[in-house]
Amino acid sequence: MERTLIADTPKLVGEKVKIKGFVHVVRAHGKIAFADITDRSGVIQVVGGEDLAALRPQYVVEIEGTVNSRPEKMVNDKIDTGKVELSVEKIVVIAKSEEMPFDMGAEELNLELPTLLDYRALTLRYPKVIAIFKVQEVVIDAFRRALQAKDFMEFQAPSIISSVPEGGAEVFKVDYFGRNVYLSQSPQLYKSLLVGAFERVFSVNKIFRAEPSVTTRHLTEVTSLDAEFGFIDSWEEVQEMEEYVVRFIFSEVEKKCTKELAMFGATLPKLSDKIPQVKLRDAQEIIFKRTGRDIREEKDLAPEDEREICKWALEEKGSDLVFISHFVTKKKPFYVYPDPKDPTYAFSVDLLGRGVEWSSGGQRLNDYKTILEHVREWGLKEEDIELYLQSFKYGVPPLGGFALGAERVTMHILGLKNIREASLFPRDMERVDVRLSETDQK
Ligand code: AMO
């Protein structure tokens, strides 16, 4: 008999089927037993006797039986197969599982984060954990499709690079045949130079940040959703493109992830007709007026400022998202485009959502001579970014772009407390798959 996917069983009432999947939970009541069996398509209740009662959580099984309608009062509206159940006729155990270290059948896993991650290969099987990554897949796929629809071309960015495009110390040095190179902090220089070849590009790739602190919003390996395009008329065009992409992502998640959102009691971020936008200086003024905290001379927003300006955006503009523009030029990487009216500030724009930064972006310098001046001023070596400079030497149109962190977007769509939950295999300074102990240090 061919395998039937669990999701198809409600259409097959009265018929014999064979399902294959995992035992999620077994409930034995005397001679009668119930089990929830999951496969990639869903979950179904199976009814049987001693054979079924003998199964253990996470056993891999093949079950033949008849699909029956459940009695009215046994219908479970919470699952798609809630109107049916499978009466067991034959069970084959395909693979056994050892004793569970915790109750995988519980309504909520309720594990401390370290335990959730120590047992990642197992906890990834939990339906609510699976749901996080279904949402993330839709986010990434929507990012791709939104840009493809605007004629952007996908490229594969290198991970081994010779320079530190974003500046700062948060970079992993790699011994490369006796020379120093780095794990890519960002595909920034490649996406910009590719504008010279393809005009509009995007990439979905890993970036690496040697974040020396353990916070709820930082990883050392991040999935970066990068876009860059040329022939822009202004930095605002970059912001508009980003808004279009983010709206498309939300609409796709709304369409395809109803079940997953419901599992988390999550609602998509609220949007007004247009995502509000404020300059850094104005944001600081707003925060000062609202809280009395005078941060007006600061060069950037601290995490509590980001939370406050997001609160303002929601209360005053009805939006969970807000663009902050015109950051301090010297606090941004060398490639930012200073505002000609006031070069202290740059045509850069961050998107904040639900209290946290989701992306950075803006217009970039495209004039070769000005780029060389910035390279010197920012203390970079021309030879480290030779190909990038080569592109601009031979002419690149006005350009800009942005990068969204896929884990942060997923985390804030679902209201997760820690970004690690939104990464299949999160890396931080204390963990690479397993917890790193001091004795591991070389
Ligand atoms: P930036 O450094 O702001 O900008 O990174 C872009 C976005 O990537 C995500 N992100 C992170 N997420 C989790 N943990 C981290 N350690 C981490 N670092 C970054 C965030 C952030 O907003 N080249 C520019 C982008 C551009 O201008 O196009 C850049 O890298 O969501």
Strand partners, 202: 154, 227
pLDDT in tens, the chain (442 residues): 999 999 999 999 999 999 999 999 999 998 999 999 999 999 999 999 999 999 999 999 999 999 999 999 999 998 999 999 999 999 999 999 999 999 998 888 989 999 999 999 999 999 999 999 999 999 999 999 999 999 999 999 999 998 887 877 799 999 999 999 999 999 999 999 999 999 999 999 999 999 888 899 999 999 999 999 999 999 999 999 999 999 999 999 999 999 999 999 999 999 999 999 999 999 999 999 999 999 999 999 999 999 999 999 999 999 999 999 999 999 999 999 999 999 999 999 999 999 999 999 999 999 999 999 999 999 999 998 999 999 999 999 999 999 999 999 999 999 999 999 999 999 999 999 999 986 566 5
- Using the mean position of ligand 1's atoms as its centre, give its distance from the Cα of residue 204 in Å: 13
CA 414 to mean position of chain CA atoms: 10
Looking at ligand 1, which atom is closest to the CA of residue 402? 28
d(CA 336, CA 32): 69
Looking at ligand 1, which atom is closest to the CA of residue 357? 22
Residues with CB under 6 A from ligand 1: 166, 186, 188, 209, 211, 218-219, 222, 224, 357-361, 401-405, 407-408, 419
d(CA 152, CA 284): 35
- Using the mean position of ligand 1's atoms as its centre, give its distance from the Cα of residue 359 in Å: 6
For residues 173, 177, 179 and 181, what is the CA-based torsion angle, rounded to 10 degrees?
Answer: -40
pLDDT given for residue 440 in this prediction: 62
- Using the mean position of ligand 1's atoms as its centre, give its distance from the Cα of residue 373 in Å: 25
Q: Are 129 and 251 in contact (CB under 8 A)?
A: no
pLDDT given for residue 213 in this prediction: 84
- Using the mean position of ligand 1's atoms as its centre, give its distance from the Cα of residue 403 in Å: 6
pLDDT given for residue 163 in this prediction: 83
- Using the mean position of ligand 1's atoms as its centre, give its distance from the Cα of residue 386 in Å: 23
At residue 119, what are phi and psi to the nearest 5 degrees? -105, 40
Strand partners, 221: 208
d(CA 202, CA 264): 30
d(CA 386, CA 404): 26
How do beta strands 84-95 and 60-69 pair?
antiparallel
Ligand 1 pocket, mutate which of 192, 358, 359, 399 (most atoms under 8 A from CB): 359
Ligand 1 pocket, mutate which of 172, 185, 213, 222 (most atoms under 8 A from CB): 222
Q: Are 37 and 1 in contact (CB under 8 A)?
A: no
Which domains does the chain possess?
6-95 (2.40.50.140), 121-441 (3.30.930.10)
Maximum Cα–Cα distance for the chain, whole Å?
A: 83
Q: Are 375 and 388 in contact (CB under 8 A)?
A: no
How do beta strands 221-230 and 349-353 pair?
unpaired
φ/ψ bin of 310: left (φ > 0), alpha (ψ from -120 to 50), beta (otherwise): alpha
Ligand 1 pocket, mutate which of 171, 224, 226, 363 (most atoms under 8 A from CB): 224
For residues 407, 409, 411 and 414, what is the CA-based torsion angle, rounded to 10 degrees?
Answer: -140
The residue whose C-alpha atom lies closest to atom 10 belonging to ligand 1 is 405
pLDDT given for residue 439 in this prediction: 56
**CB atoms near residue 150 (< 10 Å):** 15
Strand partners, 28: 33
Amino acid at position 184, single letter: S
The answer to whether the predicted template modeling score (pTM) of the entire model surpasses 0.85 is yes
The 3-class secondary structure across the chain, one letter per residue, is CCECCHHHHHHHCCCEEEEEEEEEEEEEECCEEEEEEEECCEEEEEEECHHHHCCCCCCEEEEEEEEEECCHHHCCCCCCCCCEEEEEEEEEEEECCCCCCCCCCCCCCCCCHHHHHHCHHHHCCCHHHHHHHHHHHHHHHHHHHHHHCCCCEECCCCCEECCCCCCCCCCCEEEECCEEEEECCCCHHHHHHHHHHHCEEEEEEEEECCCCCCCCCCCCEEEEEEEEEECCCCHHHHHHHHHHHHHHHHHHHHHHCHHHHHHCCCCCCCCCCCCCEEEHHHHHHHHHHHHCCCCCCCCCCCHHHHHHHHHHHHHHHCCCEEEEECCEHHHCCCCECEECCEEEEECEEEEEECCEEEEEEEEECCCHHHHHHHHHHCCCCHHHHHHHHHHHHCCCCCEEEEEEEHHHHHHHHHCCCCHHHHCCCCEECCEECEECCHHHCC
**CB atoms near residue 99 (< 10 Å):** 7
